Amino acid sequence: MTQPKIALVTGGGTGIGKAIATALAREGYALVISGRRLAVLEEAAAAIAAETGADVRAIAADVGDPASVASLFAGIEAAFGRLDLLVNNAGMGARAVPMEELSFDEWSSVLAANLTGPFLCTREAMRMMKAQSPRGGRIINNGSISAQTPRPFSAPYTATKHAITGLTKSTALDGRPFDIACGQIDIGNAASDMTARMSGGVLQANGETRPEPTIDVTHVARAVVYMASLPLDANVLTMTVMATQMPLVGRG
């Protein structure tokens, strides 16, 4: 019997992360989903397992804390002995206020979740993927449309997501000799709790507030499954999946 591939999805208990985890489970992956709230994770893991029949484990972790991330990966190694796919999805935003009104604590919290977290998880994944047999694996980073273009009053989120692009490219380069592929998916307006406010209006660069279209999160999940399905000698370095009519390209 062929052993299933093993995937970790951070922020996997809700929204985009849960949709990605569900789609991977349907493709035969065994899964670990992580996040800060164990009860939410356990509920999601049970639902995904019931729907797909997959082996889904819930491990609570704070991706911004090195000890917590080390414990998460130790748990994966103990349970499965390897890791084939890491999806760095966990993240958060800050209040949409002028930059001078943001506190250092708010800045630091976003930095920890959105940049330090993916770095710490990537570092642990690289260690496992280099040492395991067969060697190698894949890392997919959730970059967000904000990795390309900011919204007003989004300096912490935008800065971290731009930085994810650099982390993605560095990981792709440094992983190359070890059969470790790394790519980035930039998501525009996938329907989730984070985008629920968009139907009521979002501040635009010209100062107007307008509602924005969203897309079903399953489209994002299908895109991640495609990226993950490639053999390790092929890689989607960057992909953008967005609502067609959202104000990104052109001048709004």
Please tell me the predicted confidence (pLDDT) of residue 196: 60
Domains and CATH numbers, the chain: 6-242 (3.40.50.720)
Helix 38-52 crosses helix 15-26 at what angle (to 10 degrees)?
Answer: 30
Query: Model confidence over 59-78: pLDDT tens digits?
Result: 999 999 999 999 999 999 99
At 61, the amino acid letter reads A
Average per-residue pLDDT for the chain:
94
At 225, the amino acid letter reads V
**Which residue from 102, 24, 28, 17 is spatially nearest to 63, judged by alpha carbons?**
17
**Model confidence band, residue 213 (pLDDT cutoffs 50, 70, 90):** confident
CA diameter of the chain:
59
Please tell me the predicted confidence (pLDDT) of residue 252: 66
Compute φ and ψ for 78, nearest 5 degrees. Answer: -65, -40
**Model confidence band, residue 3 (pLDDT cutoffs 50, 70, 90):** confident
pTM of structure: 0.94
Catalytic residues: 157
Mean pLDDT in residue range 81-92: 97
Please tell me the predicted confidence (pLDDT) of residue 209: 80
Please tell me the predicted confidence (pLDDT) of residue 210: 81
**Model confidence band, residue 193 (pLDDT cutoffs 50, 70, 90):** low
Please tell me the predicted confidence (pLDDT) of residue 206: 77
Query: Model confidence over 117-152: pLDDT tens digits?
Result: 999 999 999 999 999 999 999 999 999 999 999 989
**Model confidence band, residue 84 (pLDDT cutoffs 50, 70, 90):** very high
Position 202 pLDDT exceeds 70:
yes
d(CA 79, CA 221): 25
Summarize the chain as % helix, strand, coil (round to 5): 50, 20, 35
Please tell me the predicted confidence (pLDDT) of residue 157: 96
Please tell me the predicted confidence (pLDDT) of residue 208: 81
Mean pLDDT in residue range 31-53: 97
